[in-house]
Amino acid sequence: MLRAFEVQQATGRGLADWHDATPPPVLAPQDCTRLLIEAPRDWLAARIAARFDAMLAAGALDEARANLALWSPALPSAKAIGAAELIAHLRGELSLDAARDRAITATRRYAKRQRTWFRARMRDWQRVSACDI
């Protein structure tokens, strides 16, 4: 979910202006079935943790290490959830377990903001449980 400040920083335009310039959907709502895939919090939390662990196993820490010398919180790559936490670990500011826990918590918070956004804007969409897919 974009915040007004992030949109202003990234585009040089205000959030309302950016929204006004957003084109209509490719498919009109009456011409398609709009589906919202919902995931129970506990189910999603376990998947978020497993996904971050898989990213670590696949070399996320090595990727962060490769970016350490040029790291800047102002870069777009610094906005990736988990990036700042892994950099903090590499700098000796956090243990790997603490960095992992903070990244997972940040991801869960992001998922919560998405659920809030979905509830506000997709009330009339057909719901499908992620557990059933």
> Taking residues 5-18, what's their average pLDDT?
76
Q: Determine the pLDDT at residue 11.
A: 76
Q: Is the pLDDT score of 2 beyond 70?
A: no
Asked if 89 contacts 67 with a C-beta cutoff of 8 angstroms, the reply is no
pTM: 0.79
Q: Is the pLDDT score of 1 beyond 60?
A: no
CB atoms within 10 A of CB 115: 15
Residue limits of CATH 1.10.287.890 in the chain: 33-132
Fold of 33-132: Helix Hairpins (1.10.287)
Q: How far apart are CA 85 and CA 103, in angstroms?
A: 6
